[in-house]
Structure 1
């Protein structure tokens, strides 16, 4: 049976994978629109906007995942049981 920590970790990994995939898709579409030989500046500007939004999204994804990893590390180190000290004289 999966405990709550494993569930949150697996859910976080799935959500982050989907978010990074969406970032790559948006960034690719933005560059396709910006570099396309279409003579409409609105299309090229939409591509530039998609690229800018994708870069900001990547920044916040990286920052958020780093903070989550730090919090997870702190919680796992605080929640772990203290080491057992063995007294060999008993």
Structure 2
């Protein structure tokens, strides 16, 4: 059971890291296109769309990873073995 939980946590951390990296890349490209001294308004609009999409992606990524962390914490606290009572007379 513990190996599955570790695997899911590791996989989730990798996916979230890649998603945040993709967010930063998209956000940076969006601002570069939006602020570029190019007289084409379509290019600036594409940059604005990239920035808006990146902000929404960051919001949903933060919300989803927070919910996953909460569920993972609850499951790990429920799935932990019960404490063994100390028996002073044995021994």
* Structure 2 length-normalised TM: 0.92
State the match for 1:12 in structure 2. Answer: 12
Alpha-carbon RMSD across the aligned residues, in angstroms, is 1.3
List runs of 5+ in structure 1 lacking aligned partners: none
List runs of 5+ in structure 2 lacking aligned partners: none
Report the Cα distance in structure 2 between the residues aligned to 1:7 and 1:80, rounded to whole angstroms: 17
* Runs of 4+ with >6 A deviation: none
Secondary structure of the residue aligned to 2:88 is coil
* Structure 1 length-normalised TM: 0.93
State the match for 1:79 in structure 2. Answer: 79
Secondary structure of the residue aligned to 1:3 is helix
Report the Cα distance in structure 1 between the residues aligned to 2:87 and 2:6, rounded to whole angstroms: 35
